[in-house]
């Protein structure tokens, strides 16, 4: 291979600098718009930014943050040469002040980082005020990351403010004591003496990687969220190992697809939620978290989204919704996604032994709709046959014992892998934007 000439090297270097600068300017504009309380423009990934990790906020933490730091561990589905981060104050009634923020590679095993954390900025500033019920995206910062790598995101919160959270991280995250101030730049992690099993404030991480073909978002309730993914049998738990079916699928994408055909995969699951907003037995704490209500902030506001893996309906039946209500919500969500140019892949409702006969009739009706022509009668783009994977061949309204956590609803680690293995990667690849 001939070596590039110095002039050609300089031209390539200049082009790279210009491209990165353009990306960072676009990010700053998005941050400024969001801080002002307006929604950012749809981001199609044309600048090379894709959401590689996400988690959906669902309520406020019962203990406010007060003059302290937090370190949240995020697990990237794909890597790149830079990252940017979303901070949300969705449920907060007062502004949230972040004095400093950093990112750094992590082993995922402790609060320590691998190397010195790098500062995040917001519109060029080191601090930012997240408005009540709002969100901000950081500027991009250079950080080389790999697929399935962990990144520690650290924030220093000034004053006192409730923290928006996602309840179940299925791993340990870290906080410094109240009143301890800013420890975001410290690599040792020694200051982060408090632990939480939730994820606070941080709700998405983008990577800059122009070779990616898009971001896929898994959208649904607890089986998307990860319930069961730490369960390796009776009395056996493996938290922090990223064994959700979405994690397993992300590893398949990396292992089985060439670099130029890969997708990022983000998780937008919240346990207990429904597709429809009108199920009569939905608890007060879950109101407003249905698929229709949270579609904008948890899916459409992410970057480079080309496809959604839709796994909803099991809680709808348990909470008193029938097939008509479920299908009405499906059609509304699918129409909005497809209008945005996003393909939709749907799983029929999975088995649950506690369902009544009427529940199972409704489950059959919804399943028939999803399976019709293999594209929900023309309203979705493909089917994920998770119901068939999990069903006990002897008792098809129950989960196969080998995949059951014991509650009859959720898949254990073996079941999570089986779900990931059934997904057609060529089908998902058809969602790529060219």
The model's pLDDT over 211-222, given as tens digits with 9 standing for 90+, comes to 999 999 999 999
pLDDT for 252 beyond 60:
yes
User: Which of 27-36, 145-154, 236-245, 249-258 has the weakest average pLDDT?
Assistant: 27-36
Query: Tens digit of pLDDT for each residue in 109-135?
Result: 999 999 999 999 999 999 999 999 999
pLDDT for 11 beyond 50:
no
**CATH 3.40.50.1110 domain span(s) along the chain:** 211-429
Query: pTM, whole model, 2 decimals?
Result: 0.90
**CATH 2.60.120 domain span(s) along the chain:** 21-206
User: Given this model, what pLDDT does residue 432 score?
Assistant: 79
User: Given this model, what pLDDT does residue 31 score?
Assistant: 43
Pick the CATH number of 211-429 from 3.40.190.10, 3.40.50.1110, 1.10.10.10, 3.30.565.10: 3.40.50.1110
Confidence of residue 29 (pLDDT cuts 50, 70, 90): very low
Measure the CA–CA gap between 121 and 85, rounded to whole angstroms: 10
pLDDT for 106 beyond 50:
yes
pLDDT for 337 beyond 50:
yes
> What sign for the dihedral angle of Cα 404, 405, 407, 410?
negative
Measure the CA–CA gap between 138 and 120, rounded to whole angstroms: 6
Measure the CA–CA gap between 51 and 118, rounded to whole angstroms: 19
Pick the CATH number of 21-206 from 3.30.310, 1.25.40, 1.20.81, 2.60.120: 2.60.120
Asked if residues 140 and 101 have their Cβ atoms less than 8 Å apart, the reply is: no
User: Given this model, what pLDDT does residue 24 score?
Assistant: 43
98 dihedral zone (left: phi>0; alpha: psi -120 to 50; beta): beta
Start-to-end Cα distance in the chain: 30
Confidence of residue 431 (pLDDT cuts 50, 70, 90): confident
């Amino acid at each position: 291979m001939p070596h590039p000439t110095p002039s050609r090297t300089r031209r390539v270097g200049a082009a790279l600098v210009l491209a990165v600068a353009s990306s960072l300017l676009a990010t700053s504009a998005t941050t400024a718009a969001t801080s002002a309380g307006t929604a950012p423009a749809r981001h199609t990934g044309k600048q090379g930014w894709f959401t590689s990790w996400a988690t959906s906020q669902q309520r406020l933490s019962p203990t406010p943050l007060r003059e302290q730091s937090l370190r949240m561990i995020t697990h990237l589905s794909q890597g790149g040469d830079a990252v940017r981060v979303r901070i949300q104050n969705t449920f907060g009634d007062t502004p949230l002040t972040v004095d400093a923020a950093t990112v750094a590679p992590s082993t995922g095993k402790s609060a320590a980082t691998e190397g010195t954390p790098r500062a995040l900025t917001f519109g060029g500033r080191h601090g930012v005020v997240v408005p009540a019920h709002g969100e901000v995206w950081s500027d991009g910062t250079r950080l080389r990351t790999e697929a399935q790598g962990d990144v520690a995101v650290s924030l220093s919160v000034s004053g006192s403010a409730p923290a928006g959270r996602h309840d179940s991280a299925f791993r340990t995250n870290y906080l410094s004591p109240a009143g301890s101030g800013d420890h975001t730049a410290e690599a040792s992690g020694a200051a982060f003496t408090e632990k939480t099993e939730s994820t606070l404030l941080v709700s998405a991480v983008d990577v800059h990687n122009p070779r990616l073909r898009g971001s896929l978002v898994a959208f649904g309730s607890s089986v998307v969220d990860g319930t069961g993914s730490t369960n390796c049998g009776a009395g056996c738990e493996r938290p922090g190992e990223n064994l959700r079916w979405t994690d397993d699928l992300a590893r398949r994408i990396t292992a089985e697809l060439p670099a130029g055909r890969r997708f990022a995969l983000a998780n937008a699951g919240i346990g207990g939620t429904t597709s429809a907003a009108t199920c009569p037995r939905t608890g007060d704490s879950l109101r407003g978290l249905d698929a229709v209500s949270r579609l904008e902030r948890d899916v459409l506001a992410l970057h480079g989204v080309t496809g959604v893996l839709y796994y909803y309906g099991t809680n709808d039946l348990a909470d008193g919704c029938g097939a008509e209500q479920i299908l009405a919500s499906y059609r509304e969500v699918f129409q909005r996604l497809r209008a945005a140019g996003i393909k939709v892949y749907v799983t029929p409702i999975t088995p649950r032994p506690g369902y009544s006969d009427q529940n199972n009739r409704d489950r059959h009706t919804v399943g028939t709709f999803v399976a019709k022509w293999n594209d929900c009668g023309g309203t979705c783009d493909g089917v994920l046959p998770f119901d068939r994977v999990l069903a006990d061949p002897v008792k098809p309204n129950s989960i196969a014992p080998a995949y059951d956590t014991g509650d009859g609803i959720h898949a254990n680690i073996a079941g999570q892998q089986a779900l990931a293995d059934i997904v057609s990667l060529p089908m998902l690849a058809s969602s790529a934007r060219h």
